[in-house]
Structure 1
Amino acid sequence: MAVPKRKMSRSNTRSRRSQWNYQPTALVKVRIGGREVAIPRRLAKAYTTGLVDIED
């Protein structure tokens, strides 16, 4: 993990924090067991192969 070499000023810290934006997880519709489910793209293969079960 990166470690700062110097103390960051309050104004720099707050301006850095204000630039952070939340990106919601993109969901993909997959047909499993005769029904269509919206799941994250990174889990689509696991659901189709049966490694992860769908909770109701």
Structure 2
Amino acid sequence: GVVESAEGKEIHLKVHSICMHGDNPAAVEMARSIRKTLEENGVMIATMREVLKG
């Protein structure tokens, strides 16, 4: 995949996991939006338990 840096540069990555932290009122909605976008693009959402089971 590709992510955009804070400076606007494209960085090509092979991502295996995403860790999110948020302590502001928008954090939950941001997580929902990210999940929706991932699922719309064929990314499987799994719990850590599911990942470790293989």
Q: Same fold (TM over 0.5)?
A: no
Larger Rg over CA atoms? 1
Higher relative contact order (CA 8 A, sep 6+): 1
User: Of Structure 1 and Structure 2, which has the larger fraction of its residues in helix?
Assistant: 2
Which TM-score tier does this pair reach, normalised by the shorter chain?
A: under 0.3
Larger proportion of strand: 1
TM-score normalised according to structure 1 size: 0.25
